[in-house]
Chain A
């Protein structure tokens, strides 16, 4: 009788514990100041330049951002139509982009997540990390007036930082050597191991 009860309990425990481990993945690292992370399963990217940047500047900054994430294993694919895209990237003067998205006035650059869906939770060191599928994000990456003293490195960082948000890197790193550090004064534009490992685990 005891043996049967033991087997009964064992089967019961195994059956319950298996699905629980499926629902909540334990993340191996987590560097964001917000308890959330996302992923864009489609990653089709539409870009448009209004004014401000030269075409060459705009494509250089954008391409170094996409190449870095592609090298990390998260590729975005260029498309010609907004309707086919999950990521829209707009370049232009601050005045032009602030007309399109007035919230930009409070940001150096802005990624607006406009369509997303909560898909469950991960855990990390006892914290609950909300996971989101991102269906549409819009990046506003402005050319700043000359008094902002924005160098080429800072623009490269700006484009990489915003693309990272669109790909699901939500919140900011507290480490100033990371591209995902919050301050726009940083000139770091090469994704660090921390930047990459944080997001790659969610793909």
Chain B
């Protein structure tokens, strides 16, 4: 081949080779991952309300707290289970000073001090109550009490949350929240508290709207963390309540086995049914507990 064709050909190949190498080499890095491009763990969809500070306080959050992260562990591929020591309650009240927070991964750092916008999640399929973080409004508080809004969870880049810098101080933000918090939509909502456990089977029966004996025909994990299962069932006998004609599937804590028969205690909620208590609402047929319950139910 002529030199004046061969030389540019080789030069171009060399340049292209060098240019392509870092693309392939960086594929596994976080900087090239989706989380880097979209800080909100790939969550798409329509937010319930426009994302403004007022809505974060009054519409998205049942609780706004100042707290310090004491621990964070992976809950599932996209979320962390974060332990927060609550220092101050700005909106709503938490029952304990140490709370569990369900947060998008990379959003909260251990030892960090934050203003957290939370919604209480209390359901009997979980072993305890926890709070869901509004992942779009993660506000860190620095040593000088400045507010810093998390912009990039991977690079840990923060920006001042307010254009008007006078609001970017913790004291000013607290004063503002105090002024507007009477409009919080959770303020007057009466939410049924989930009972952990009842002392005896008689109380368990009385507290339940529905008591059903069912055989699990198909059991599959319902969430990524594999803590909840979706159970397709065949009703064997209804001892209390009823109306299961159109329900053939129910969410229960993991541990239910296919082809086994259980006595389940349920309560009615606003538009669904759920376990009556966190523990003691699922009794396997054939156990001594089952015999005790049956004695009372068949009287």
Q: Chain A residues in contact with chain B, CB under 8 A?
A: 4-5, 7-9, 11-12, 15-16, 19, 34-36, 48, 50-52, 54, 82, 92-96, 98-103, 105-114, 116-118, 120, 130, 132, 143, 145, 158, 161-162, 165, 170-171, 182-184
Contact = CB atoms under 8 A, between A and B. Distances in A.
| Interface bin, chain B | 35 or more
B42 A103 contact: no
A184 B50 CA distance: 10
Nearest to A93: B272
A32 B44 CA distance: 12
A120 B32 CA distance: 9
14 contacts: A15-B16, A16-B12, A48-B230, A48-B249, A95-B274, A99-B125, A99-B126, A106-B47, A107-B46, A112-B78, A116-B34, A165-B44, A170-B38, A184-B47
B251 A99 contact: yes
Given A11-B5, A50-B249, A95 B271 contact: yes
Contacts of B34: 113, 116-118, 132
B43 A15 contact: no
Nearest to B3: A4
A8 B7 contact: yes
B224 interface: yes
B155 to A, nearest CB: 16
B9 interface: yes
A155 to B, nearest CB: 12
B75 to A, nearest CB: 10
Contacts of A34: 38
B114 interface: no
B288 interface: no
Contact of B48 (A50, A52, A92, A106): A106
B135 interface: yes
A120 B23 CA distance: 9
Contacts of B7: 8
A96 B272 contact: yes
A94 B129 CA distance: 17
Given A99-B123, A107-B48, 18 more contacts: A5-B4, A7-B5, A9-B8, A15-B8, A15-B12, A51-B247, A54-B246, A93-B271, A94-B271, A95-B269, A95-B271, A99-B222, A102-B132, A103-B102, A105-B119, A108-B45, A112-B43, A116-B42
State the majority secondary structure of interface residues on B: mixed
B74 to A, nearest CB: 14
B270 A105 contact: no
B220 A95 contact: no
Among all A-B residue pairs, the 9 with the closest Cβ atoms: A113-B42, A15-B12, A12-B8, A165-B44, A110-B45, A184-B46, A93-B272, A4-B4, A108-B46
Nearest to B60: A106
B52 interface: no
B16 A16 contact: yes
Contacts of A35: 37
Interface string B36-72: 0110011111111010000000001000000000000
B170 interface: no
Contacts of B123: 95, 98-99
A190 B102 CA distance: 35
A50 B46 contact: no
A193 to B, nearest CB: 21
Contacts of A98: 121, 123
A12 B119 CA distance: 60
